[in-house]
Amino acid sequence: MQIKPVIGDWEIPHIAWLQSVEQRHFAEIPIPGMQGSLFQDLNGAPLSLVIAGSLYGDEKRNEFLEAVREKFNAGEAMTFAADIVTATELSHVVIEQMRFEESARAPDETDYVLVIRESPPPPPPPSGLGDIDAGLLDDAAGLIDSVAGALDALDALGSIPDFGNPLPPLQSGLDEFSSAAADLAAPISSLGGIFGIDPTAGDD
């Protein structure tokens, strides 16, 4: 092996053999009157690797068990490299199973088997906008800019007169006219008395 199997930053020691198990999932679709079946590809199953080896001596065994159990208990995906996964997309794995065996026939030897499974990193979280076309987002941004420009143009015009209800100014003018007419009533009555004219005669 040119590249010894490495999980994370830990090089697996004393490997005796490796086994790679790769499988695709298919849904079988039988066709009446046709020999054989059609199969719908449901993509590949997670790649599995079985790694087996032997350790000799208490010190080597204890170092191995501490290192592998720390990674197993963490349950986190780790990077993986080995010659046997060449031409695959395998990059991250988890340790799925561990098995250890000691025998009285070889008291200083500990055999181990590790089963690791493919565990790719999760996809990035969605941005919140889903699959909205980028062109629509650009059009919306342009519309907002146009509205903002129109508001700025209105601000530049200064104070705009209020063309709301015209009655209050007219009512004020009528009140002033009524007040002036009331002030003229007394002089007009005096002039009518001098010339013998009744100011109210034309009201009938």
Q: What CA–CA distance (Å, rounded) separates 92 from 43?
A: 18
Evaluate whether 79 touches 92 at the Cβ level (below 8 Å).
Answer: yes
The SS3 assignment for 173 reads helix
Tokens for 199? 């100011």
Residues 108-157 pLDDT 10s: 899 999 999 998 877 777 765 555 556 666 766 676 777 666 666 656 65
Cα–Cα distance for residue pair 155/148, rounded to 1 Å: 11
Domain limits, the chain: 6-27+38-118, 169-198
What architecture does CATH give domain 6-27+38-118? Beta Barrel (2.40)
Strands (E) in the chain, as ranges, are 6-7, 10-11, 15-21, 24-30, 37-44, 48-56, 78-81, 92-103, 106-118
The reported pTM is 0.56
pLDDT, tens digit, 9 for 90 and up, residues 169-184: 556 655 665 665 565 5
- CA 64, CA 56: separation in Å to the nearest integer? 11
Record the tokens describing residue 201, joined without a space. Answer: 């005669």
Distance of CA 175 to the CA centre of its chain: 67
